[in-house]
Amino acid sequence: MNNIARLRKEAQIKQRDLGQVLGWTQARLSNYESGNRMPGLSDCRAITAALNRLGATCTLDDVFPPEPVLARAA
C-alpha cells in the first residue's frame, strides 16, 4: 500500500501535474496510486522527489511505508 494519492491531495497537487513532472501518463500514475501496479525503487524515489518539488513535504517512507516484518517461528 502507498500514500501517493493522499499526500498528493493534501498538497493540492493534481494527478496530471505530478504525472507531467515525472514525464508519465496520468494512467501510469493512477495505476500506482490505486495499487494496480507497484513501482520499482527508482520510480518510488522519483515520485517522492516530484511530490516534494511540487510542494509536499514527505520522505520515501511517508509515501511508501515499510511493510511490517513478520517474526519467524523458532
Domain that holds residue 17: 4-59
**How many angstroms separate the most distant Cα atoms in the chain?**
49
Reported pTM: 0.89
CATH number of the domain that residue 10 is part of: 1.10.260.40
pLDDT at 1 > cutoff 90:
no
Which of the four pLDDT bands, split at 50, 70 and 90, describes residue 11? very high
Span between the terminal Cα atoms of the chain, in Å: 29
* CA 60 – CA 37 distance, rounded (Å): 17
pLDDT reported for residue 72 = 74
Burial class (CB in 10 A: 0-12, 13-18, 19+), 58: buried
* Domain membership flag for residue 69: no
| Residue 15 maps to a domain | yes
- Within a domain: 18: yes
How many domains does the chain divide into?
1
| pLDDT tens digits for range 14-63 | 999 999 999 999 999 999 999 999 999 999 999 999 999 999 999 999 99
The amino acid that residue 28 corresponds to is R
Structural domain includes residue 27: yes
